[in-house]
Structure 1
């Protein structure tokens, strides 16, 4: 369904995704909305933990933290909608809960996209993905959202250049490690494999400094890696907020990790990343930004995923990482 009018919006609310990786993959879309509608007030609705993070990216004018509890959340959104009167709300979520939230906000135009067989009756305008039905495993999530936004004249082109953090100073041979994955343990490489990789890299990259990152849910695996690798490692897992996490990642020469939100964040701020894939689809949810990146999968694994990440060999990963870094040094000249 297309909008009947292409008039400029005055107030645009955006319901952001709940997971860090999805949140980061939406950032280039926000930048493009802001560029295409420079006079619109852009307000993000998201989990409270993202409020500090978004301050690093000049793409939003206001932020609404989602409160906990069903009634409290919906009542707050209703009150905000009645006061602010947004003329458009865009949903980057695909849940019934997010749609009901949007209905409570009450924007005249509530926009979302629907996968084949799914319906979103609480929205006023829906971009259906039926025409992509046979290719959904091959199209990046950000590109699908770009098509959705273009259909409603919210963006023209999406810029995939990374963001630059003014305060960031990249350290030589500072290697970040993201060993956990809060939302899916199947995406986690085994502790002993991480330990072997860090040992190998400590010989291949002289005077390297290794730092473990992650959420509080990743503390156990990070502690096991730090205690088992036999190499000095700084473990800051669970000790940083989102803004501090981004600044720490920006100071790294390289970040290595599972397919998880921290890797998307490092990629978004221009830090070279090596991402280990197994069960997940790198075509759909791989880091999006045009920063140096190396995606590694087990031998014989489809790019759409489906293999165990444990089939990745630490020795082979080490060789690929070192070659990746050498190529980056040559490219930077």
Structure 2
């Protein structure tokens, strides 16, 4: 959803009077509320993978009176194109896939060489087919205010010294895609312990599903620094809402993250990001922050885009050594 903001920005630039309504799952609402270009959001009442053809038809029909003139369908599935068709929206735009030509009347062939990045594929749908993209595609940027940040910092007991917290790094160890995208807990704890010893504070962030690895990282940091982590390490995994995670991320100095949703959140609040890529590729979904460093390994089998390592060694992640991450953090901090 975050990279779709680039599309929304371009739509507003080229058609200032357009009204943008986004139909998306409920979990995206905190993101959409931080996008000034979005005028309205509607909750998609279907879970991922559900067809429910009759219910989709009824839902689509219920939107017909809204008077939508254009629908841009970003997911590539057949079922995602059903609702605009049932709603009777005249212009239905999207990339070809799953025989969607039956539902889309501006169904485009995707030249992956021409548009290698996901953000480019979204942005291209703001323009007529075959029109050249602008030289610069606007990066996603979520709206965050100081009161929002102060409220989140106060709730989780992260003190400031008059201004923004200094040398506060967000550690994002989760990877819902699969373990092939996950840097080892030991590497995160080694890196974090080195930074804590140098005076940094650490915030471990993620969903409830990341709680086990986060606790392993926290305990590893504590063991390495040799003292309790009171006031220097905050394990907030599973304790924040998405809105709070956005605000806390905005308060940080840097983020160290796997290729994950939180990496893109950090980028969208323009936080300097050190991004760890294993099975996936920064050529497709890079961090879109103004300042970033991507760490990878040169092994032949990456990127494979497998959720789990087919060889079982996960060398693409394990061989990104902690000292490289520390050096990258300090390099970005010096900027």
Indicate whether the TM-score tops 0.5: yes
1:266 paired residue number:
266
Return 5+ residue gaps in structure 1 as ranges: 1-22, 329-333
C-alpha RMSD over aligned residues: 2.6
SS at match of 2:86: helix
Q: Does 1:226 align with 2:218?
A: yes
SS at match of 2:93: strand
1:303 positional shift: 8.6
Deviations 1:115-148 (A, max 9, x none): 6x9654211111212xx35x27x82111122233
Q: Does structure 1 conserve the Cα–Cα contact (< 8 Å) formed by 2:275 and 2:294?
A: yes
Q: Does 1:284 align with 2:284?
A: yes
Higher alpha-carbon deviation: 292-301 or 155-164: 155-164
SS at match of 2:183: coil
Deviations 1:9-30 (A, max 9, x none): xxxxxxxxxxxxxx11111211
| Residue correspondence of structure 1 range 95-244 to structure 2 within 5 A | 95-114=77-96, 119-129=100-110, 132-133=111-112, 135=113, 139-151=116-128, 158-160=137-139, 162-163=141-142, 165-167=144-146, 168=149, 170-203=164-197, 205-206=198-199, 208-230=200-222, 232=229, 233-244=233-244
2:72 paired residue number:
90
Q: Structure 1 234/83 Cα, relative in aligned 2: closer, same or farther at 3 Å? A: same
2:309 paired residue number:
none
2:328 paired residue number:
320
- Relative to the length of structure 1, the TM-score reads 0.81
Q: Structure 1 121/214 Cα, relative in aligned 2: closer, same or farther at 3 Å? A: same
- Relative to the length of structure 2, the TM-score reads 0.80
Q: Structure 1 73/151 Cα, relative in aligned 2: closer, same or farther at 3 Å? A: same
Q: Does structure 2 conserve the Cα–Cα contact (< 8 Å) formed by 1:127 and 1:148?
A: no
Q: Does structure 2 conserve the Cα–Cα contact (< 8 Å) formed by 1:171 and 1:253?
A: yes
Return 5+ residue gaps in structure 2 as ranges: 150-162, 306-314
